[in-house]
Structure 1
Amino acid sequence: MRLTVRSTRASVSLVALLVTGTLTGGLPTGPPPSVAAADTVSAQKARAPQLRVRTVARGLQHPWDVQQATGGRLVVSERDRARISVVRKGKRRTLADLSRLVWVSGETGLMSLAVDPAARTLWACHGSARGGTHVQVSRWRVDRRWTRLSSRRTLLTGLPSTSGRHGGCRLLLDRDSDALLVGTGDAAVGTNPRDLDSLGGKVLRVHRRTGAPMPGNPFVGASSARRFVWTYGHRNVQGLAQRDDGSVWSVEHGSYRDDEVNRLVAGGDYGWNPVPGYDETVPMTDQSLPGEQQDAAWSSGTPTIATSGAAWVRGSQWGALEGTLAVAALKGSEVLFMRFDAAGALTAVTRPPRLQRLGRLRSITSARDGDLLVTTDNGARDRVVRVSPR
């Protein structure tokens, strides 16, 4: 199969951009990144909303993900407790205790969820100690009242893990096909990201029901693990989000520098190659490698802020923030609203102070009404909050 791999070569660091907004829900107050952006600042600022933050679930510990089900229900995973909860009208109940199934170590445990309410199906990415420590994707059926899981199936297995470091795993249901996208960490093994037969440091595409490699995968004809690979050369993928134009974007942790937001291109190499050993002084996107590497659409520079989950902001009620990519930060304890043009170039970053008071933030999900669901990850008294424009 012929591959088309393009290099965007348009990476913009947070420091270089100089557009860190300081108004609640407002636009950047620093110099705009382009003349075109400058022409629209006044109009956008007038339409930017104030933000309302409401707690919808309390008493959680390291909640990794939150997704919507039916009837106003939210489904929440907790990494170390290996517990899936259903939250409705402020009340939490346990949907499943997976502690006998899930291997918990360091950054690895019960992580990302994907939910198809219409099919009453739930997917989870989690550590597993069965057959040696690794990360896998499991699928369940859910009963009509969202009180019980059944018919578990292992959809994908063998995602590498060692100590649990860089075991990150993010799931995303493709809107335009039956694909389930799986973003993985490199397990802190330097050879994994560019080894096409390792599932670590990749974004994978599998059929959401059968676990088979998706037609159209760059290496789908292979007999080895590379048939699942969509993109490679990643360090630790933490977020996946699909734009209205169908493009898929990833968010990943940098080393001591350069957290990244990437626009994914089939067969793309994103340039992380920390060898020999695990040399974290190398660039996140190493343009000296053979072939062509995809530059990040955004990078943090130094220091990192530990970018995590992400969601595209939808709905005219968001004013100037509509159409931005909302990215959560753990170490940075904030949400960054990034605006990219149609070509994928960064034009502005907004950082509302209202969302800098919640501590470490892990996941962001766009609710069906356009609100954002955000999980905190402070290790104690964590919660899920709903963020909406006033």
Structure 2
Amino acid sequence: MRTRLGTVLAALVTSATAAAVLPSGTPASAVTPVGAGVAAAAQTAPTAARATPRLRISVRARGLSHAWDAKPIGRGRVLITEREPARLTVAAGSGTRRVRFPTGKVFVSGETGLMGLEIDPGYSSNRRFYTCSGWRTGGGGHDVRVIAWRMNDAATRARMIKPLVTGLPSTSGRHGGCRLLVTDGGALVVGTGDAAVGRNPRSLTSLGGKTLRLQLPSGRPHPANPFAGASNRKKRYVLTYGHRNVQGLAQRRDGSLWSVEHGPDRDDEVNRLRPGGDYGWHPVPGYDESVPMTDQSLPGKQVGARWRSGRPTLATSGSTFVDGRKWGAWNGVLAVAALKAERLVLMRFDRQGRFVRSWAPRQLRRYGRLRTVTQLPNGNLLVCTDGDGGAGKVLLVKPV
């Protein structure tokens, strides 16, 4: 698969009519396979005039297994989730330490384990943070759920406050989602997977294949949600539906919310979220992955992707909008970690949300599968690699 991916990307470079080449020598067209129906605007003069920065990369944490998310918690410390061993780890100084946490309660199978992580805006005083993970419910059952936790002052032990939302579907562990994002307005957005059940994405009484929006700290459905008045409680959580497996969530400076998700054998997607929007994944009967990622033949109106990979997929995952003048021409891009393609893809969208172009910095193409990317308050990036058996790392990326 990796050889085929490289061959196809090389072909894209060869066939591109206007392949912009990075200072590092990586053709931008190699990571911008744009399918039919996805708008691509011409590069604007202001973007061309700004220089792309050089990157200085160091290892912030090592010895990890399937690092899934990483967020700063103050005093130079970084909190990390590891999916398969279901561990919480803190990187502090030059080392790491495990956080006491009920690992045995986490359901771990396939793509599901200890996944999404977010930090409460008031963490410095309340020590609250949130996870999304598989969870053992007793009697051999399991689901995916979002849980609020409180960390002790030394960041050595986490105590459960309460589950915020439960009952996200879970079967074999396939398509478990599950990304978290605290918005600028203080809401918690949850990106979920469809659990490989075909009816879930477009069923408004299932929490699978959706983005959900919750109030903090209560966990109640957000009052501005499009179905906030529904009689069914699950439906009241729904922000958007018709998704396959949401892996990334990000908020742009203009306040818009964006998602990144895995396609089947084609069409990874980047979507701009519209409350109440149907994003068109409906793999029925059974679980028929030959259907389009955004099936415009379905009843109603489906929201088209802002970018899609075509064939092959890159296995796009965690994302963040990169802000700050020190990023030069990359100020304002959407940074997307890619697992199968083993790169960080920087995507430029114009003010209307139309795809413009992308870059893949060569310096980040030597670390294997990349799971997610987070921007620190100082503008630098944290990038999680997906190595297992202690081979995983969290990288610190500085523009210079």
Q: Secondary structure of 1:271's partner?
A: coil
Shift of 1:18: 6.3
| Stretch of structure 1 that moved more, 258-267 or 125-134 | 125-134
Residue in structure 2 matched with residue 37 of structure 1 by the alignment? 43
Q: Which of 281, 284, 291 is 1:282 aligned to?
A: 291
Residue in structure 1 matched with residue 127 of structure 2 by the alignment? 120
Shift of 1:208: 2.3
Shift of 1:146: 1.9
Distance 2:291 2:212 in 1: 24
Offset from partner CA, 1:117-170 (integer Å, 9 cap, x none): 333111000101215221001111122232222243111100001000001200
Shift of 1:34: 7.2
Name the aligned partner's letter for residue 43 of structure 2: A
Q: Secondary structure of 2:318's partner?
A: strand
Alpha carbons 1:61, 1:81 under 8 Å: kept? yes
Task: Tell me, yes or no, if structure 1 residue 69 matches structure 2 residue 77.
Answer: no
CA separation of 1:235 and 1:19: change in aligned 2, threshold 3 A: farther
Alpha carbons 2:368, 2:387 under 8 Å: kept? yes
Name the aligned partner's letter for residue 358 of structure 1: Y
Shift of 1:99: 1.8
Residue in structure 1 matched with residue 9 of structure 2 by the alignment? none
Residue in structure 2 matched with residue 109 of structure 1 by the alignment? 113
Alpha carbons 1:25, 1:352 under 8 Å: kept? no
Q: Secondary structure of 1:222's partner?
A: coil
Distance 1:130 1:339 in 2: 43
Q: Secondary structure of 2:70's partner?
A: strand
Residue in structure 1 matched with residue 96 of structure 2 by the alignment? 92
Distance 2:355 2:41 in 1: 13
CA RMSD of aligned residues (A): 2.2
Shift of 1:17: 9.2
Distance 2:387 2:210 in 1: 27
Residue in structure 2 matched with residue 352 of structure 1 by the alignment? 361
Q: How does 1:109-188 map to 2 (within 5 A)?
A: 109-116=113-120, 117-118=123-124, 119-131=126-138, 132-177=141-186, 179-188=187-196
Offset from partner CA, 1:199-226 (integer Å, 9 cap, x none): 0000000112111100111111112110
TM-score normalized with structure 1 length: 0.91
Offset from partner CA, 1:319-351 (integer Å, 9 cap, x none): 100100000000000011001111100111111
Distance 1:62 1:20 in 2: 33
Alpha carbons 1:20, 1:351 under 8 Å: kept? no
Instruction: Count residues with an aligned counterpart.
Output: 374
Q: How does 1:1-390 map to 2 (within 5 A)?
A: 19=19, 21-24=21-24, 28=28, 37=43, 39-40=45-46, 42-44=48-50, 47-116=51-120, 117-118=123-124, 119-131=126-138, 132-177=141-186, 179-224=187-232, 225-380=234-389, 381-390=391-400
Shift of 1:96: 2.7
Alpha carbons 2:47, 2:329 under 8 Å: kept? no
Name the aligned partner's letter for residue 24 of structure 2: T
Q: Secondary structure of 1:317's partner?
A: helix
Alpha carbons 1:67, 1:75 under 8 Å: kept? yes
Residue in structure 2 matched with residue 7 of structure 1 by the alignment? none
Shift of 1:100: 1.7
Name the aligned partner's letter for residue 264 of structure 1: L
Distance 1:373 1:361 in 2: 11
Distance 1:353 1:182 in 2: 31
CA separation of 1:85 and 1:287: change in aligned 2, threshold 3 A: same
Shift of 1:29: 7.1
Distance 2:283 2:261 in 1: 15
CA separation of 1:25 and 1:79: change in aligned 2, threshold 3 A: farther
Alpha carbons 1:127, 1:135 under 8 Å: kept? yes
TM-score normalized with structure 2 length: 0.89
Alpha carbons 2:29, 2:358 under 8 Å: kept? no
Alpha carbons 2:242, 2:280 under 8 Å: kept? yes
Offset from partner CA, 1:35-75 (integer Å, 9 cap, x none): 8526456413xx11111110010100001100010100000
Q: Secondary structure of 1:176's partner?
A: coil
| Stretch of structure 1 that moved more, 109-118 or 182-191 | 109-118
Residue in structure 2 matched with residue 5 of structure 1 by the alignment? none
Shift of 1:367: 0.5
Distance 2:183 2:17 in 1: 31
CA separation of 1:102 and 1:86: change in aligned 2, threshold 3 A: same
Offset from partner CA, 1:221-248 (integer Å, 9 cap, x none): 1121101000000000000011111111
